[in-house]
Amino acid sequence: MMDTPTKTPALVEMVGISKAYPGCLANDSIDISLSAGRVHALLGENGAGKSTLVKILYGLLAQDSGSIHWQGKPVDISSPAVARELGIAMVFQHFSLFESLSVLENIALGMDADADSDLRNKIITVSTRYGLPLDPDRSVFTLSVGERQRIEIVRCLLQNPKVLIMDEPTSVLTPLEVNELFATLSRLAEEGMAILYISHKLEEIRKLCHDATILRGGRKVATADPREETAQGLAALMMGSDIPKAVLREQSKTGKTLFSLSQLNYPALDQNGISLQGINLSISAGEIVGIAGVAGNGQDELMQVIAGEVLAHLDDAISLHDSAIGRQGAGERRKRGLCCVPEERLGHAAVPTLSLTENVFLTAHHRKALRIAGLVSYRRSRKFANEIIQRFNVQCNGPASLAGSLSGGNLQKFIVGREILQAPNVLVVSQPTWGVDAGAARAIHDALRTLADEGAAVLLVSQDLDELMQISDRIGALCAGRLSNFHQTSRVTVQQVGLLMGGESIDRQALNADSGADA
Amino acid sequence: MNEILILTILTIITAATPLVYAAIGELVVERAGVLNLGVEGMMLAGAVCSFATAHHTGSGMAAIVAGMLAGMLMALLFAFLTLSLQSSQVATGLALTIFGVGLSALIGQSLVGIAFEGLPSLNIPMLSNLPVVGQLLFSHDILVYGSFVLVAAVAWFLNRTRAGLVLRSVGDSHDAAHALGLKVIRVRYCATLFGGACAGIGGSYLSLVYTPMWGENMSAGRGWIALALVVFAVWQPGRLLLGAYLFGGISILQLHAQALGINVPSQLMSMLPYVTTILVLVLISRNRGRIRRNAPASIGQPFHPTT
């Protein structure tokens, strides 16, 4: 442990922090201290109280009891402005960005600076230095989730903070980008910054962090040196029981082709979008096909065309069970058994201000017969919502809770569950485990596998390579609106998928040689 | 012929100016995420207070200030109800209009039928003596010049200053703005008061210049037109000026067309300005990118700082 920076007096210390919400104790007397030059991991499942704790530190919430000390002196962080003045910056999991403003304006707002050419230059400098490419003049609503996250990170870095809070920052980055980010974070720590790093990716934490605080059910259950623990050990601490090791998916038996795209072209939805060009893909019954790719390479467009939010120009560009559905709307496609889970949970996959019961009705009314003579059957909808909650272990106050009140992971489980339990013939999911903790991710992966084993075709669009390698049978990548060739997942390496993501193709020879070497 | 043309253009300017004031104020209010449907009521309050002041003091300047203050007072009431007490913006705005109609009628009871000589024209030396151009461009009252300055100032403020950026950000997402520590409620109070001041001045223009007298409900729906103009302009000041003059122009031209005896039912002619507005709104809504960039996303939504 030669490289461990020596323990310096705490830069910021939270002592005995408690916070109660109606019906639950989110934080129960938690202690945590951050020191300059150290990366401190905050680990815990969804609902363990991580978000509440960092919101208190950043001044977004007030604690019920407990105190915060900054360089030994008690401080009252009553607002984010106070936090920023002290030198605390935060990269949010749910980005607090202004959709209609440009990247430059968004950053200017967060920095008490003017949106002038000086700032534009600084943005370009920082973003290129840290490998976070950004066009300062684009409006945020045209950017993908991954690109939006870059804004948040650059915004924080520009403030030269003493404490940097990162809430699940790597979930939307490619492996290369993750490595670059880690290099940046390590450098920042060496330069004396204290970093509070929230993640559910245990390997990352072991690689990057010096200390770890583990929360479970609002309580601090342990502190650990993540480099001395195994991922398995950390997971056990986090979840309170040993989780079984992930089993690699066995090559499933595939049946006839259920779903196919042929020569699908679609022009960009707006000037900053990506046009889809000549997409060909077919998925058989019982198969999970994965599409990798960096955000903003046409994933949004592909999802919209497949879901039927926009119609393809030719009816036979998309077919389901050998019948052309390219000119059918989303409702008709669902009726025929094509269900989709879009990337954005709130506002796209679910209506935040409606209850879970009502949200269930929105996509499942036909397949689960939740309509009676054109009217909503609340009894059946509630029953179905309850079924999802139980089957997928969704933590909420019952089917009447508003979708917006669920934590990210729980809502995701609910949305994926809603589509899976409709027993679709074809399920298309985008980023199903983004920002979801390990336990919930496992549950979602298992459910997808079970669905495929039961004879459905599954298309998985994700930026999480581990996820794709783990559960897909065939894998390809989307790059600049074009789809690469697809390969058996068992026969490619992560590096080769990286090549596909960059728009290159894998040499057959290399492929064979590699699998030969493996054997 | 020339005389008629010049006269027509001058009446168009007079018809458009109150709309410009009321609409530019509402544009700022909406850009901050507040929907104040009480423009009509604020205009009437401004008109009556302005006229009463002009009648008692004889000072045009004092009258304008009075109109402005009256509009602001109405806006303050609206802001207190919707921003501090979190009442529904739509319902409160409608109530404000109804309240303004009644209140102005009550205040103006003794003023009906009295005439006022109107605001003096500010003749610019040399320039206003030029033929045609002089009469068209350089011999207006202070409020006409002021309206152009105001639109330019608002455009500059919104797009070039940090305060303008803060205002737009609050209108785009109040939660994100709050997360950054911006004072959402304070910004919205200021914007609403500015909107009230502008609507008040718009009202003043009606009772001091357009028809220099007070009559009950004299704004005759202009507050509503101002609200439509804001959407028409896609929340952009420059387009708003265009819209106000287009609307003012068509409403004057159709009057002239009726006077010339063109054989079209007068009801159809009176519809023209509104039909044009609707047509342009339909055309504009085809450009989604522009709307996404300019429309305040959180408009009309109450903001609870605690959640």
* pLDDT tens per residue across span A105-150: 998 887 777 777 888 998 998 888 776 778 899 988 888 766 787 8
pLDDT, position B54: 92
Neighbour-count burial for A119-137, b at 16+ CB within 10 Å, e otherwise: bbebbeebbeebebebebe
Q: What pLDDT, on the 0 to 100 scale, is given for residue B263?
A: 79
Residue A174's pLDDT is 63
Closest-CA residue in chain A for B172? A98
Lowest mean pLDDT among A6-10, A200-204, A248-252, B94-98: A248-252
Question: Is A150:A127 a contact under the CB 8 Å cutoff?
Answer: yes
pLDDT digits (tens, 9 = 90+) for B232-283: 888 999 999 999 998 888 888 888 887 877 778 888 888 888 888 788 878 8
B179: contact with A, CB 8 A cutoff = yes
Q: Is A108 in contact with B182 (Cβ distance < 8 A)?
A: no
> How far apart, in Å, are the Cα atoms of B256 and each of B11, B16, B18, B200, B252?
11, 16, 20, 29, 6
- Whether residue A4 has pLDDT greater than 70: no
Nearest-CA distance A502 → chain B (Å): 29
Which residue from A77, A57, A69 is spatially nearest to A11, judged by alpha carbons? A69
Is the minimum CB–CB distance between A78 and chain B shorter than 8 Å?
Answer: no
What pLDDT was estimated at residue A240?
67
Higher local confidence (pLDDT), B130 or A139: A139
> A–B: how many Cβ contacts below 8 A?
62
Judged by a CB distance cut-off of 8 A, whether residue B286 touches chain A is no
Kindly state the tokens that stand for A347: 């506002």
Question: How many CB atoms are closer than 10 A to CB A256?
Answer: 10
> Taking a C-beta distance cutoff of 8 angstroms, is the pair A32, A42 a contact?
yes
Chain A window 135-154: which residues touch B at a Cβ cutoff of 8 Å? 139, 141
CA separation (Å) from A485 to A256, A279, B198, B223? 20, 10, 62, 61
Q: In terms of pLDDT, which residue wins out, A118 or A175?
A: A118
- Residues B44-79: tens digit of each pLDDT: 999 999 999 999 998 889 999 999 999 999 999 999
What are the chain B neighbours of A59 within 8 Å (beta carbons)?
A: 181
Q: Which CATH number fits domain A280-518: 3.30.300.30, 2.40.50.140, 3.40.50.150, 3.40.50.300?
A: 3.40.50.300
- Nearest-CB residue to A99 (from B166, B172, B179): B172
Q: How confident is the model at residue A172 (pLDDT cuts 50, 70, 90)?
A: low
Instruction: Compute the nearest-CA separation of A67 from chain B (Å).
Output: 20
Q: Identical fold at A12-239 and A280-518?
A: yes
Residues B257, B29: contact at Cβ < 8 Å? no
Is the CB of residue B295 less than 8 Å away from at least one CB of chain A? yes
CB contact under 8 A, A98 and B162: no
| Residue A162 contacts residue A35 (beta carbons within 8 Å) | no
B173 at interface of A, judged by CB pairs closer than 8 A: yes
Averaging pLDDT over each range in A435-449, B167-181, B279-293, which range is the top one?
Answer: B167-181
Residues 6+ apart with CB under 8 A from A21: none
Q: Rounded mean pLDDT of chain A?
A: 84
Burial A214-251 (b: 16+ CB within 10 A, else e): bbbebebbeebebbebebeebbebbbeeeeeeeeebee
Q: Please indicate whether, in this complex, the C-beta atoms of B179 and A80 are within 8 angstroms of each other.
A: yes
- Name the residue with tokens 């005389």: B3
Q: Where are the alpha helices (DSSP H) in B34-88?
A: 39-57, 60-79
Q: What gap in Å lies between CA A17 and CA B216, rounded to an integer?
A: 62
* Stronger pLDDT, B273 or A16, i.e. the higher one: A16
Identity of the amino acid at A249: R
**Position A5 confidence tier, pLDDT thresholds 50, 70, 90:** very low
pLDDT of residue A518: 38
User: Mean pLDDT, to the nearest integer, of A205-215?
Assistant: 89
A1 pLDDT more than 60: no
Q: Above 60 in pLDDT, residue A251?
A: no
8 Å CB contact of A100 and B288: no
Query: Which residues, 6+ apart, have CB-to-CB distance to B238 below 8 Å?
Result: B151, B155
B180 and A109: CB-CB below 8 Å?
yes
SS3 A131: coil
Q: Is the pLDDT of residue B133 over 80?
A: no
Contact B174, B31 (CB under 8 A): no
What band does A517 get if pLDDT is binned at 50, 70 and 90?
very low
Give the pLDDT score at A244: 43
Asked if residue B226 has pLDDT above 50, the reply is yes
**Sign of torsion, CA A170 A172 A176 A181?**
negative
Please answer whether residues A141 and A100 qualify as being in contact, where contact means their C-beta atoms are separated by less than 8 angstroms. Answer: yes
- The predicted pLDDT at position B237 comes to 94
**What is the pLDDT at residue A513?**
44
A273 touches chain B (CB under 8 A): no
Whether residue A428 contacts residue A403, with contact meaning beta carbons closer than 8 Å, is answered with no
Residue in A98, A116, A156 to test binding to B, most B beta-carbons within 10 Å: A98
Distance CA A225, CA B103 (A): 72
pTM of the model: 0.68
Tell me which residue in B181, B288, B294 faces A81 most closely, judged by beta carbons: B181
Picking from A314-323, A430-439, B144-153, which range would have the lowest pLDDT averaged per residue?
A: A430-439
Look at residue A39 and tell me whether its pLDDT is greater than 90.
yes
Distance from the Cα of B224 to chain A's closest Cα (Å) equals 26
Q: Residue A35: helix, strand or coil by DSSP? A: coil
Q: Which of B169, B181, B292 sits opposite A141 (nearest CB)?
A: B292
Name the residue among B162, B288, B292 with its Cβ closest to that of A114: B162
Question: Taking a C-beta distance cutoff of 8 angstroms, is the pair B44, B201 a contact?
Answer: no
Closest-CA distance, B286 to chain A, in angstroms, reads: 12
The structure tokens 């604690």 sit at: A63
B294 reaches A (C-beta below 8 A):
yes
Strands (E), chain B: none
Contact B272, B250 (CB under 8 A): yes
Residue A476 β-bridge partners: A291
Q: Are A60 and A52 in contact (CB under 8 A)?
A: no
**A12-239 adopts what CATH topology?**
Rossmann fold (3.40.50)
Pick the residue of B161, B167, B168, B172 with the most A CBs within 10 A to test the interface with A by mutation: B172
For chain B, counts of helices (H) and of strands (E): 13, 0
Give dist(CA B66, CA B71) in Å, integer.
Answer: 9
Q: How far is A108 from chain B (nearest CA, A)?
A: 8
Q: Flag whether residue B175 sits within 8 Å of chain A, measured between CB atoms.
A: yes
Cα–Cα–Cα angle for B20, B26, B27, rounded to 5 degrees: 85
Average pLDDT over residues B101-127: 83
Q: Is the pLDDT reported for residue A515 higher than 70?
A: no
Q: What is the mean pLDDT of residues A263-267?
A: 89
Q: Is A105 near chain B, with CB under 8 Å?
A: yes
User: How deeply is B203 buried, as exposed, middle or buried, from its count of CB atoms within 10 A (0-12, 13-18, 19+)?
Assistant: buried
Domain residue spans in chain A?
12-239, 280-518
Look at residue A8 in the predicted model and tell me its pLDDT: 60
* Alpha-carbon span A343 to A363, nearest angstrom: 15
Residue A248: the pLDDT is: 52
Q: Reply yes or no on whether the pLDDT at B117 is more than 80.
A: no
Gap between the Cα atoms of A7 and B164, Å rounded: 46
pLDDT tens per residue, range A325-360: 999 999 999 999 999 999 888 888 999 989 999 999
- The model's confidence at residue A2, banded by pLDDT at 50, 70 and 90, is very low
- Burial environment of residue B291 by CB neighbours within 10 A (0 to 12, 13 to 18, 19 or more): middle
B171 sits in which H/E element = helix B162-172
